[in-house]
Amino acid sequence: MSETEDGVCNPVMMEKRFGYTTGTYATAAAKGALAILLGGKDITEIGVTLPNGDEAVIPLRLNEKTGVYVQCAVMKRSVEETDATHNMEILARVSLREDDRIIIEGGTGIGRITKKGLQLPVGEAAINPVPRKMICSSMRELTSRGVDVMISVPRGEEVAALTCNQRLGIIGGISIIGTTGIMRPKSMPSFKKTILQQLNFCNENGIKEIVITPGNISEDAMLIHFGDRVSKDRIVQSGDFLGFTLSHAYRIGLTFILAGHPGKLGKVLGGYFQTHYSSSPPANAGVIKLVQDKVSDDVLKEMEESPTVEGITAILIERHYGTMLNGIAEVIEEKVKRYLGTDSCIPVLLFNMRKEMIGASETGMKWIKR
């Protein structure tokens, strides 16, 4: 049974059911291939270091071996069979270079970035920054030489059709993603149970002011910016169940700060408090509607062409309209108050994907200065 630092048992930490992201599996395939290439001995599993320092041990198999390269395969297992990537094979082909560079590329079944506003430049393979860093670190654990890494997914294009990749401008396959390397269950029964456990834990242990965030990025951002005031046990991740989390927190008498990316929190502008892409449209239109009469025509055109809210907010900041993000946070707060039927203050803080604070409602600003 796990305990918090003050010795109080935290029921949420008893939940051990989790899996690993596509980024972790791709890293395992790459590291396994390099280990075989360097050592010559076949292996059936490999340990990879996660961003939090923990180790994940992943089964793998040798797929192809020549005098020049080794290719290993891993089978992506999910904590939920409804996950489109469950039982999906991920391959990594590794060869050594003459220099000391590590080059990571996407092969068959890995999508390509075709629009601005994502975490990678247009034209790049859709292998996100954290998985790239994990792969590089795992290569450096084994050699100081340069390495070419090719990640591919034989069924990637087929699986991508079940995701929102095409809508985001990621064409031709899936994305290799993950910010923590760990994937926790997001199905309605299991994830809602976790939310209720954590909210009740806070209430029963005298933690009356909490932070509600959609996920890891905004949680990290709060700890980076306000770690002297906010501890991890005061942060509750809502996932896609924002309305459910807000309602229960309000019902049991907790006060809360709402912190997150405007791509998630901005969905409430259209009245959507279940934020999964299958249950709500992107927040782009709602965000643009709030500012369209206050920006120039060329800026409006740029925003309308952006596939993501991340891109829209970057355009506003770059074109000197960044203060409008405070107004967006203000409207989000008003929508949440109306949803809960309360006049109580609910500070709203907005962060981008780089974990920079980009906006706050008026009560959010007051909370910051408190």
Give the whole-angstrom CA distance, residue 135 versus residue 147.
11
Q: What is the pLDDT of residue 81?
A: 58
Asked if 212 and 259 count as a contact pair (C-beta separation under 8 A), the reply is: yes
Task: Provide the 10 A C-beta neighbour count for residue 50.
Answer: 19
The answer to whether 62 and 78 are in contact (CB under 8 A) is no
| SS3 label, residue 264 | helix
pLDDT of residue 279: 86
At residue 186, the pLDDT reads 60
**Alpha carbon distance 249, 202 (integer Å):** 10
* DSSP code, position 277: T
Put residue 271 in one of left, alpha, beta given phi > 0 → left and psi -120 to 50 → alpha: left
pLDDT of residue 173: 96
DSSP 8-class letter at 232: G
Q: Any idea which residue has 């709402």 for tokens?
A: 258
Rounded to 10 degrees, what is the CA torsion of 182, 186, 190, 193?
A: 100
**Pick from 104, 106, 77: nearest CA to 89:** 77
pTM attached to this predicted model: 0.73
The CA distance from 94 to 37, in Å, is: 8
What whole-number distance in Å separates Cα of residue 288 and Cα of residue 170? 22
Is residue 109 within 8 A of residue 65, CB to CB? The reply is no
Query: Per-residue pLDDT tens for 300-354?
Result: 999 999 999 999 999 999 999 999 999 999 999 999 999 999 999 999 999 999 9
CB 77 within 8 A of CB 85: no
DSSP state of 101: -
Q: Could you tell me where the DSSP H helices lie in the chain?
A: 22-39, 129-142, 156-160, 188-204, 216-226, 242-251, 262-265, 284-291, 297-305, 309-318, 324-340, 362-369
Token pair 């926790």 in the structure block, residue = 184
Residue type (1 letter), 132: R
pLDDT at 321: 97
pLDDT at 10: 38
Burial of 225 (0-12, 13-18, 19+ CB in 10 A): middle
Segments in the chain below pLDDT 70: 1-17, 80-82, 185-190
Percentage helix, strand, coil, to 5, in the chain?
40, 20, 40
Res 188: pLDDT? 63
Q: Are strands 19-20 and 182-183 parallel, antiparallel or unpaired?
A: antiparallel
CB 337 within 8 A of CB 344: yes
Query: How long a stretch of residues is the chain?
Result: 370
Residue type, 77: R
Q: Which domains does the chain have, with CATH numbers?
A: 19-183 (3.30.2110.10), 188-369 (no CATH)
**Which pLDDT value is given to residue 185?**
66
Q: Are strands 55-59 and 45-49 parallel, antiparallel or unpaired?
A: antiparallel
